[in-house]
Amino acid sequence: MPCPARESEPDRYVMTTDGKRIAFNHVKGEFSKVVIIAHGFYTNKDTILFRKMADAFNKEYDVIMFDFRGHGKSSDVFTWTAHEQKDLRAITTYAKENHYTKIGVIGFSLGAAIALIEASCHQNIDSVIAVSAPADLGSINYHFWEKDFWEDLVLNFGIKGRGKGIRWGSPSLQKIRPRDIVDKVSPTPVLFLHGEKDWLVKLSHSQVLFDKAKDPKALTIIKDGGHAERMFDVFPDQFMKICLDRFRKTL
């Protein structure tokens, strides 16, 4: 099927139930299904890797990219997953209002944790891909001495780091641990996608989440893969094939 003409809208905004202003872009084609990209800590929808990723998904789906609170052009401060599921819910509500037949969410790192939390509470998502998801924020590994940390750090400089940043709030707010709710995501299918050499959130996190999740579920490990969107940066074809194959099966 040929790729339809694409139109990228300028920044738009939705309001959350607690009054936060969430910025998003809606990349439209003529598709009946949409993929929502949920970024992780310190990045946002306008960074070059997520722009490229949106273009890749837009060959088969409409795409919505948004900024979590405290990131990019959204308001307020980041609450370390305590309240960000409201941001994602505002975006999925917008997608429903646009009459998409299916909604897929791909989340990265803390964005993946938020996607799992939201999918466990509301049946408004039809498929989840959780990339480098932490099972518990208190158990994130931070292996700064590993080689992949230094290679990951490069993504914060130059053209790939342009526009990154965060406005953070208190990390002490009560949070939901993904490991405690992942069994409630079913019947929504979830793919846990993890890099073998992730220095920040070790592969054991996705293994714990996979073991606790109910079917339908899958776990895919990218050999030599790093943390979150860095897998797309280093292995773009492999990463997109995994994600598109999954959404083709589940959306």
pLDDT tens track for 52-101: 999 999 999 999 999 999 999 999 999 999 999 999 999 999 999 999 99
What confidence score (pLDDT) does residue 227 get?
Answer: 96
Domain boundaries, the chain: 7-250
Other C-beta atoms closer than 10 Å to the C-beta of 247 total: 22
Q: With left for phi above 0 and alpha for psi between -120 and 50, is residue 193 left, alpha or beta?
A: beta
pLDDT tens track for 28-48: 998 999 999 999 999 999 999
What CA–CA distance (Å, rounded) separates 188 from 104? 10
pLDDT tens track for 186-237: 999 999 999 999 999 999 999 999 999 999 999 999 999 999 999 999 999 9
Q: Judge contact between 22 and 74, C-beta under 8 A.
A: yes
User: Structure tokens of 251?
Assistant: 């959306």
For CA atoms 117, 206, 199, 236, the dihedral sign is: negative
What CA–CA distance (Å, rounded) separates 22 from 91? 8
In this prediction the pTM is 0.95
Q: If you average pLDDT over residues 155-169, what whole number do you get?
A: 91
Q: Judge contact between 24 and 94, C-beta under 8 A.
A: yes
β-strand pairing of 7-8 with 21-28:
antiparallel
**For the chain, what percentages of helix, strand and coil (3-state, to nearest 5) are there?**
35, 20, 45
What CA–CA distance (Å, rounded) separates 16 from 228? 26
Could you name the CATH architecture of 7-250? 3-Layer(aba) Sandwich (3.40)
User: Structure tokens of 178?
Assistant: 């993904």
Residue 224: phi, psi to the nearest 5?
Answer: 65, 10
